[in-house]
A and B are shown apart, each in its own frame.
Chain A
């Protein structure tokens, strides 16, 4: 059976930063990624708040740079899916779709994914007018009208990106805009986007093949509003990617994030968690990288103790 010093579940900013640190310490490190290398940041149009990139950087380019830097020091990324983990003697068994492997330590860095609205029509028209990745699917909406749902940084950033394609965007915000001032100023300057504050998104309607309209409610007047549209992009917050670990006995918080102590240790010995999946994370790429570095240092200490026990 394959064995590594460290298996990192995920290959986003947290995971790749941790791998840069551990491989530079000659810690044999494998990352297992079931989705996109770079994680959610790779689906982000533009990152303007990561230090060192004066003019900003595309999420895809940033992910590529993280990957190349980690691989330069010897990190190995396997495109596979982790199904579960369990302690076996002093090791951790990691089961994947292609088999089982052992690790002295495991870092859970699976990040987060966009939440769904949970309204009628959302699943019916998934990928036929309902989308969660503007950089992936925005190009299908050249010359079309769109609805974007959400009021945070992601919603505003991606709405601005989608104006490259769409003729007009209705931005539906349940309460108030929570995006950064820089994005809000850009939003004000963009005449293709109409912001609707205090409007809920209730239903997505189509003609069996395509989305045709979105129904919402003005929460002040309680009036129903119809938005004619060709598509809907949803950015209403993040949920942790950790459900696959439910049966492992690891401790979760009430929302579903993984609980750790101040050293990023989970309730299973030898298993650490960092980044967006961790309870208390701030969901920023810069802090994700910081947590990756911290996790790497704590894992190095743990592995030193592990080696002494083996002697």
Chain B
């Protein structure tokens, strides 16, 4: 059971758009942290993944465990939000 989803994005990143489109097509709500609007939070996805890349999707489960997915990766995203 998913409690909360947060996506780290930038304005120009098409794969961020795709993650949002895909979640939207499944009627799944999410919070967005746009790093162009909030550059002071740019280190957060780096700390979570060790990578300098967006989108980063953080799926928090009911037991507060977290699954972190880098990129537009349906093979990982679909089971994470199921």
Name A residues whose Cβ lies closer than 8 Å to a Cβ of B. 34-38, 42-43, 45, 58-60, 63, 79-81, 97, 127-129, 131, 133, 135-142, 209, 231
CB pair B53–A136 under 8 Å, yes or no, is yes
Q: Does B52 belong to the interface (CB within 8 Å)?
A: yes
CB pair B13–A135 under 8 Å, yes or no, is yes
Contacts of B39 in A (CB 8 A): 139, 142
Expressed in whole angstroms, the minimum distance between the Cβ of B11 and any Cβ of chain A is 8
Q: Does B17 belong to the interface (CB within 8 Å)?
A: yes
Q: Please report the C-alpha to C-alpha distance between residue A128 and residue B49 in the assembled complex, in whole angstroms.
A: 10
What are the 7 closest A-B residue pairs judged by CB atoms, nearest first?
A135-B12, A42-B14, A140-B52, A127-B51, A127-B53, A136-B13, A36-B14
A selection of 23 A-B contacts at a CB cut-off of 8 Å is A34-B74, A35-B15, A37-B21, A38-B14, A42-B14, A60-B12, A79-B25, A128-B51, A129-B52, A131-B53, A133-B13, A135-B14, A136-B10, A136-B12, A136-B13, A136-B14, A136-B54, A137-B53, A138-B12, A139-B10, A140-B42, A142-B39, A209-B50
Expressed in whole angstroms, the minimum distance between the Cβ of B47 and any Cβ of chain A is 12
Contacts of A139 in B (CB 8 A): 10, 12, 35-36, 39, 42, 54
Expressed in whole angstroms, the minimum distance between the Cβ of B22 and any Cβ of chain A is 6
Q: Please report the C-alpha to C-alpha distance between residue A140 and residue B46 in the assembled complex, in whole angstroms.
A: 9
Chain B 43-79 interface 0/1 with A at a Cβ cutoff of 8 Å (1 = within): 0001000111110000000000000001010110000
Contacts A128-B51, A142-B39 known; list 20 others, CB within 8 Å.
A35-B72, A36-B17, A38-B14, A45-B12, A58-B12, A60-B17, A79-B18, A131-B53, A135-B10, A136-B16, A136-B53, A136-B54, A137-B13, A137-B54, A139-B35, A139-B39, A139-B42, A140-B46, A140-B52, A141-B52
Q: A139-B36, A139-B42 are in contact. Are A43 and B52 (CB under 8 A)?
A: no
Expressed in whole angstroms, the minimum distance between the Cβ of A283 and any Cβ of chain B is 19
* Option from B14, B52, B53 in Cβ contact (under 8 Å) with A63: B14
Expressed in whole angstroms, the minimum distance between the Cβ of A112 and any Cβ of chain B is 15
Q: Please report the C-alpha to C-alpha distance between residue A137 and residue B75 in the assembled complex, in whole angstroms.
A: 22
Q: Please report the C-alpha to C-alpha distance between residue A79 and residue B23 in the assembled complex, in whole angstroms.
A: 11
Q: Please report the C-alpha to C-alpha distance between residue A37 and residue B18 in the assembled complex, in whole angstroms.
A: 7
Q: Please report the C-alpha to C-alpha distance between residue A91 and residue B27 in the assembled complex, in whole angstroms.
A: 34
Expressed in whole angstroms, the minimum distance between the Cβ of B40 and any Cβ of chain A is 11
Q: Please report the C-alpha to C-alpha distance between residue A19 and residue B35 in the assembled complex, in whole angstroms.
A: 34
Contacts of A80 in B (CB 8 A): 74
In the complex, which residue of chain B has the Cβ closest to the Cβ of A209? B50
Q: Please report the C-alpha to C-alpha distance between residue A42 and residue B52 in the assembled complex, in whole angstroms.
A: 20
CB pair A36–B15 under 8 Å, yes or no, is yes
